[in-house]
Amino acid sequence: MESILCVDIPVQMISCTDTDGKITPLRFRFQDNNGELVTVTVKDVISDEQAKSRVGANFTCSAIVGGVEKKFKLWYNYFAHEWRLSQLHV
pLDDT tens track, the chain, 90 positions: 455 566 789 999 999 999 998 999 999 998 888 888 989 999 999 999 988 778 999 999 999 988 989 999 999 999 999 999 988 876
Which residues are bridge partners to 6 per DSSP? 87
Q: How far is CA 37 from CA 15, 31, 40, 49, in A?
A: 18, 5, 10, 28
Q: What is the pLDDT, as a whole number, of residue 1?
A: 42
For the whole model, what pTM was predicted?
Answer: 0.85
Q: How far is CA 40 from CA 29, 36, 44, 55, 72, in A?
A: 6, 13, 12, 25, 11
Residues 6+ apart with CB under 8 A from 82: 10, 76
